[in-house]
Amino acid sequence: MASKKLPEIIELKPFKLKIGGLTWQVVFEDKLVDDNDNPLCGCCDADRYLISIQKNMMMVTTRTTFYHELGHAFLSAVSNGNDKLEEEHVAELVGRGFNELLAQKRKLPAWLFEGIS
């Protein structure tokens, strides 16, 4: 009987990407917490153009967290501090943001696009 193949372990390395024409850094932290020391899966710091992701999560959680934080980065890129965006603005933001992200596909880690043809 053949043994089960263990899932591939992917080394998560920091990388950069463009969002709204600005260079953002994506990093992976051993312990990511908020100001009250509560654990976080991810965090977006728009002032520093930094997305931080907690290490040692399931890959689906890591990917989902990245895309969640990317949404915050997209919003900060187009909102200019305006917290009240209308649905059409948000839809435009999502379209432009993902277009920009997918245009960088060859330069970004493959795990971000797993399952996307």
The ranges assigned to domains in the chain are 15-35+48-113
DSSP designation for 92 = H
d(CA 15, CA 109): 8
Q: How far apart are CA 117 and CA 112, in angstroms?
A: 12
Give CA–CA dist 25/75, Å, rounded: 16
Report the predicted TM-score, pTM, of the whole model to 2 decimal places.
0.75
Nearest-angstrom CA–CA distance, 90 and 75? 8
Q: Do 97 and 70 contact (CB within 8 A), yes or no? A: yes
Q: Using CA atoms, how far apart are residues 20 and 37, in angstroms rounded to an integer?
A: 31
pLDDT at site 78: 72
| Per-residue pLDDT reduced to its tens digit, 52-110 | 999 989 888 898 899 889 888 888 877 766 666 676 777 777 777 777 888 888 888 88
Is residue 116 very low, low, confident or very high in pLDDT (cuts 50, 70, 90)?
low
DSSP label at 30?
S
4 has pLDDT over 60: no
Between 27 and 90, name the one with better pLDDT: 27
The residue that leads in pLDDT, 112 or 116, is 112
